[in-house]
């Protein structure tokens, strides 16, 4: 299998390098372009549809390798592959049409729900077991599993869109998350998830060559939605076959877009603004305001995503051995650095810094006591 993994990754990467320029020409031809405005960083018309190159690279490579897959795959694994291909196709078509025609948000939401329902009801892909921290393995009832699975797929499908604000940002963060999933899949012995992750990773890296600053093409909604859908299935449902799914691991995997969304909701609520109103308070906006260049900002967020990836691997490994104390440590470390980072960067607001203010008061108190002695 190692030969299949290696060949698959290389072929997918090569296809993305070759297909992306063709997709770029196609995007200009059909009018799937991004026009700059006051909220966008780029200053010239840019082609979208970049996700199509990633998708085609992935699908072509998968079918090339299909004859070499083990014949011992279980029915669940086969259903998972079918669900991934069918749901991914529905998602990429939705994103491609949105890149060209700017579809209404309600229509996109309904199609995403329909896609999630096809995955759940059409291929019986749903959460079956959960390893909840400080609890034993438990079977998840259908009345809980079905709506939660649909909610997870729709939610994570849209998560990557939230950070798609700078050249190479969404693609790079997705690559780090999917690479982390590949590592966990290898540790768990899940060959299906490992293979799908590596094929996707090759396609993303090949596309990133043209998408990193200064970008020659954007991934568009086609890429953001497809990668979000891929993360939804691979980060959660892909591990159900071995019944080792930590409730926290998939949340940590999408830590960058998830935390950015959470702080955006808190920020807008504190400022008494509509929760879904756009603003320039997102992570990449705040880093740019601190004086970091475009590339520096993207690389810093890559580092944050890698940090979450390491925590996810630690948490996943701990779940395999039921080491609940590791889970507790991971939660504490994650919450602490999230809060400190948000206050330093200004994600909540420029004046809302309770933890930093506490440390400042503590330092002053210690300094006063030393001075009095």
* Closest alpha carbon to 226 in 361, 360, 54, 373: 54
- Structural domain that includes position 293: 2-372
- Residue 15's pLDDT is 98
- Whole-number pLDDT of residue 349: 62
The candidate with the shortest Cα–Cα distance to 254, out of 135, 159, 362, is 159
User: How many angstroms separate the CA atoms of 174 and 223, rounded?
Assistant: 10
CA distance 95 to 22: 18
Closest CA to 237 of 91, 124, 93, 371: 124
Domains in the chain, number = 1
Name 121's Cβ contacts closer than 8 Å, sequence gap at least 6: none
3-class DSSP state of 74: coil
Report the pLDDT value the prediction gives residue 310, as an integer from 0 to 100: 87
Residue 358 tokens read as 């506490």
Provide the angle, in degrees to the nearest 10, between the axes of the packed helices 191-211 and 50-65.
140
Interatomic CA distance for residues 286 and 264, integer angstroms = 12
Q: How far apart are CA 305 and CA 300, in angstroms?
A: 9
* Share in percent of the chain as helix, strand, coil (round to 5): 75, 5, 25
3-state SS assignment for residue 341:
helix
User: Is the separation of the CB atoms in 211 and 16 below 8 Å?
Assistant: no
Residue 244: name the closest of 198, 191, 184 by CA: 184
**Measuring CA to CA, which residue among 273, 235, 239, 237 is closest to residue 257?**
235
Low-confidence ranges of the chain (pLDDT < 70): 37-43, 128-141, 236-250, 275-282, 318-325, 327, 347-352, 367, 369-373
| Tokens representing residue 129 in the block | 């077991």
**Strand pairing category for 138-139 and 129-130:** antiparallel
Query: What pLDDT score does 139 carry?
Result: 55
Q: CA-CA distance, 109 to 98, in Å (whole number)? A: 12
Left if phi > 0, otherwise alpha if psi is -120 to 50, otherwise beta: which for 168? left
- Rounded Cα distance between 178 and 207, Å, is 15
Cβ–Cβ < 8 Å for 287, 301: yes
pLDDT at 119: 95
> Coil, helix or strand for 225?
helix
- Residue of 98, 77, 46 lying closest to 193 (CA atoms): 77
* 3-state secondary structure (DSSP) of residue 33: strand
**Helical spans, DSSP H, in 189-219:** 191-211
Q: Are 53 and 89 in contact (CB under 8 A)?
A: no
């Amino acid at each position: 299998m190692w030969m299949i993994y290696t060949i698959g990754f290389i072929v997918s990467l090569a296809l993305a390098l070759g297909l992306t320029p063709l997709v770029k020409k196609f995007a200009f031809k059909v009018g799937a372009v991004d026009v700059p405005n006051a909220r966008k960083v780029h200053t010239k018309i840019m082609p979208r549809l970049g996700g199509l190159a990633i998708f085609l690279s992935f699908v072509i490579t998968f079918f090339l390798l299909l004859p070499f897959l083990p014949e011992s795959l279980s029915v669940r694994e086969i259903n998972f592959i079918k669900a991934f291909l069918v749901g991914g196709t529905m998602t990429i078509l939705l994103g491609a049409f949105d890149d060209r025609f700017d579809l209404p948000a309600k229509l996109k939401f309904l199609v995403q729900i329909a896609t999630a329902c096809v995955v759940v009801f059409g291929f019986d892909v749903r959460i079956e077991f959960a390893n909840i921290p400080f609890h034993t393995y438990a079977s998840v009832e259908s009345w809980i599993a079905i709506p939660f699975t649909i909610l997870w797929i729709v939610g994570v499908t849209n998560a990557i869109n939230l950070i798609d604000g700078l050249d190479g940002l969404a693609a790079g963060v997705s690559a780090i998350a999917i690479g982390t999933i590949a590592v966990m899949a290898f540790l768990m012995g899940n060959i299906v998830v490992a293979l799908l992750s590596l094929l996707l990773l090759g396609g993303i890296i090949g596309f990133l060559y043209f998408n990193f600053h200064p970008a020659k093409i954007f991934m568009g909604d086609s890429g953001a939605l497809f990668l979000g859908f891929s993360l939804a299935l691979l980060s959660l449902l892909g591990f159900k076959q071995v019944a080792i799914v930590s409730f926290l691991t998939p949340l940590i995997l999408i830590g960058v877009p998830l935390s950015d969304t959470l702080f955006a909701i808190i920020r807008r609520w504190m400022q008494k603004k509509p929760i879904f109103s756009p603003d320039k308070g997102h992570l990449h906006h705040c880093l740019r305001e601190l004086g970091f260049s475009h590339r520096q900002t993207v690389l810093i967020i890559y580092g944050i995503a890698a940090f979450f990836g390491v925590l996810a691997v630690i948490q996943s490994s701990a779940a395999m051995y039921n080491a609940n104390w590791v889970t507790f440590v991971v939660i504490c470390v994650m919450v602490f650095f999230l809060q400190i980072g948000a206050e330093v960067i200004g994600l909540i607001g420029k004046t809302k810094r309770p933890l930093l203010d506490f440390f400042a008061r503590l330092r002053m108190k210690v300094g006063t006591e030393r001075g009095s002695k």
